[in-house]
A and B are shown apart, each in its own frame.
Chain A
């Protein structure tokens, strides 16, 4: 069956430009998560959605980062005025609910390189 998909798979951009990263969760999954993994680091939580609302945005590193989710499905992570330190793999995950111990299913990630 279809898993979590992300696009683009790779993105190279110039410093100062805006980028949009897209996540298509597994159909029917109400919870959606964004993480990033910088070189040599673990997965860093950014934000999660329950339906279309984001109860926890605590991981967003700065106000240049924003995310939205529409129709309880697709989510877009936007980074404005990108900086070189934004270079990382951005991972999206979904789960059926946001219950304790709920397994999260990850997409393949978007590799972002800011020159």
Chain B
């Protein structure tokens, strides 16, 4: 039972354009959602979060949108930079974090 799904295993974007990473969830009990970024051979690092009572949270180039009725969230990165190339995990939290399988983003110069 995958409570958090990231259906796109990979995404390629040109530098300067927008990257949109999508995440769907099934557990309506999640209180908050987070995005983590992971480089090879490193642990995931926290990127941005959103409470379930909000529909948008912005931090610099990163914006997370939450659509509770659709049980969908997305991460927008604009403008994308080559250093953003990494695997991005979304996670839903209730009593513990449940992670998706990740989307590998490649930003080409």
Tell which of A11-19, A69-77, A78-86, A106-114 binds the partner. Answer: A106-114
Are A91 and B44 interface neighbours, CB within 8 A? yes
- How far in angstroms is the closest Cβ of chain B from A49? 12
Residue of B nearest to A55 (CB): B95
B96 in complex: contacting residue of A42, A48, A106, CB < 8 Å: A48
CB-CB under 8 A from A43, the residues of chain B are 44, 89, 91, 97, 99
Q: Is the interface of B mostly helix, strand, loop or mixed?
A: strand
CB-CB under 8 A from B62, the residues of chain A are none
Which residues, 42 to 80 on B, are CB-close (under 8 Å) to A? 42-46, 49, 51
CB-CB under 8 A from B97, the residues of chain A are 33, 43, 45, 104
Are A101 and B32 interface neighbours, CB within 8 A? yes
Are A42 and B100 interface neighbours, CB within 8 A? yes
Q: How many A-B residue pairs have CB under 8 A?
A: 55
Q: A42-B89, A101-B31, A103-B49 are in contact. Are A93 and B43 (CB under 8 A)?
A: yes
CB-CB under 8 A from A103, the residues of chain B are 34, 46, 49
Is A4 close to B, CB under 8 A? yes
Are B41 and A108 interface neighbours, CB within 8 A? yes
Is B101 close to A, CB under 8 A? yes
Is A40 close to B, CB under 8 A? yes
**Among B6, B43, B46, B89, residue most surrounded by chain A Cβ atoms (within 10 Å):** B43
Question: Using a CB–CB distance below 8 Å, which chain B residues touch chain A?
Answer: 4, 6, 31-32, 34, 36, 41-46, 49, 51, 89, 91, 93, 95-102
Question: Using a CB–CB distance below 8 Å, which chain A residues touch chain B?
Answer: 4, 33, 35, 40-45, 48, 56, 59, 91, 93, 100-101, 103-109
Name the 6 nearest CB pairs between A and B, nearest first.
A106-B43, A43-B99, A42-B101, A42-B99, A101-B32, A103-B46
